[in-house]
Amino acid sequence: MLAPIHHHQPRMFSNPRNAPGPDNIHGRVLRDCAAQLTDVLTDIFNTSLSQAVVPTCLKSTSIIPVPKKSPVSCLNDYHPIALTPIMMKCFERLVIHNIKTSLSNTLDPLQFAYRPNRSTDNAISSTLHLALTHLENKDSYVRMLFIDFSSAFNTIIPQQLINKLNLLGLNTSLCNWILDFLTGRPQSVRVGHNTSSTTTLSTGAPQGCVLSPLLFTLLTHDCTANFSSKHIIKFADDTMVVVLIRNNDETHYREEVAQLVEWCGANNLSLNVSKTKEVVMDFRRNSVDHPLLTIDSSAVERVSSTKFLGVHITEDLTWTTNTMSLSKKAQQRLYFLRRLKRASLPPPILTTFYRGTIESVLTSCFTVWYGNCSAADRNTLQRTVNTAAKIIGAPLPSLLDIFPCTMLWTPPTPPIISSSSCHQEDATGASEPALQDCSTAFSPRL
């Protein structure tokens, strides 16, 4: 049960700028009236938990179609973003805290979302550490398969998820509450000032709900590799299969992919083969042509570079593609910095804007790639910083100065316990070493 203690208020009524849901109650109203509403909402939330029933008005959802790209050519080019009552979002945050506390020791160690001291940096660092360690061996190469699920959140079957939560050890009362939360959801679509008729859904988890990403990670917690040389790296619904191959033996790789496809079918998930990509990292002098991977009679596209968790990973493990992408994105935002300068804003405000919109782009997943990128790539990024400093009229810290501070600030990747004891060994009888702390995998070349 929840206690009506006042330190819950800032957490429950955070971010008043959130768009209101179908009830049109704005976050600022809730925040300004937090002192008066705390006891009332605590009673509502506790009653909901004890009865395992979510009021229908709190489950109602307005779907806002947001274009994935421009121009839009079909309905699949839209993201169905769900706007739910902000009061419900507050409740979901409290439920998330309860779930994470209860299940922290039973989750997949290669699932990096919603884990303490883990982030996208850790997921990519762990992936590259596995690849680089394996590539040091003779006659070895790596194949990385970047999985794309079709409408992942919308395909969740509530009862199937609840069965898995029970197996994980979540208490029955909370499982029943989550089941009611996911079923009987009134939903309508809103485009501009036009709203469709309401329909009731009992499958899927709306994109936009606070709970949805966590519930998806719990649904996929048992999606793990069956061989010690295969690793499935996950960050919510972003999934990558890392396969460490020796002596051109890809038998286990194809078996692993076949079992993954079978697992997806059993869990009502559909692989989008057209958007699934593969990168092969082979630095051998006498490398051979690698046969294409086939899923459901469709060949998976092999690319030289692809984007995973915001970072461009290439087949030659260089960072030019990634730094060029970041530089282009940051330079586009210099336009807004110039507009603010013309409006005569003082340097402190301009510096704050720069740090939030430009520096944050340049230092995205900084600990992963900056230590090993070339001098030319660093100079490309530093020119953007120098241009911003001229616009602001005040000195800015260089990326070279920021990097050591970032390495100190970022919490180290927790050691990942090898689960090879639960895996089958490869044909060679060799097993890969357990993944250790990856914060030292990419030492800075300052």
Q: How many CA atoms lie within 13 A of 6 on its CB side?
A: 3
Query: Where would I find the H helices in 289-426?
Result: 320-342, 347-354, 360-362, 366-369, 375-392, 399-409
Backbone angles phi, psi at 312, to 5 degrees: -80, 115
Q: Which two tokens stand for residue 329?
A: 């994105």
pLDDT for 15 equals 64
d(CA 414, CA 268): 32
How far is residue 361's CA from residue 320's CA, in Å, rounded to a whole number? 15
The phi and psi torsions of 197 (rounded to 5 degrees) equal: -70, 160
What is the reported pTM? 0.79
Residues in the chain where the model's pLDDT stays below 70: 1-16, 104-106, 407-446
Query: Given this model, what pLDDT does residue 328 score?
Result: 94
Burial code (b: 16+ CB inside 10 Å, e: under 16) for 217-228 equals: bbbbbebbbebb
* R_g over Cα of the chain: 24
For residues 167 and 221, give the distance between their C-alpha atoms in angstroms, rounded to a whole number. 11
Distance in angstroms (rounded) separating the CA atoms of residues 370 and 446: 10
Q: Which amino acid is at 170?
A: L
Closest CA to 402 of 435, 370, 443, 358: 370
Residue-level pLDDT at 163 = 92
Treating both helix axes as pointing N-terminal to C-terminal, what angle do 158-168 and 212-219 enclose, rounded to 10 degrees?
70
Q: In this structure, what are the phi and psi dihedrals at residue 402, rounded to the nearest 5 degrees?
A: -75, -35
Cα–chain center distance at 424:
29
Q: Residue 290 carries which side chain, given as an amino acid letter?
A: H
| Dihedral sign for Cα atoms in the order 93, 99, 105, 111 | negative
The helix/strand/coil state of 7 is helix
How far apart are alpha carbons 262 and 256 in whole angstroms? 10
Distance CA 313, CA 340 (A): 35
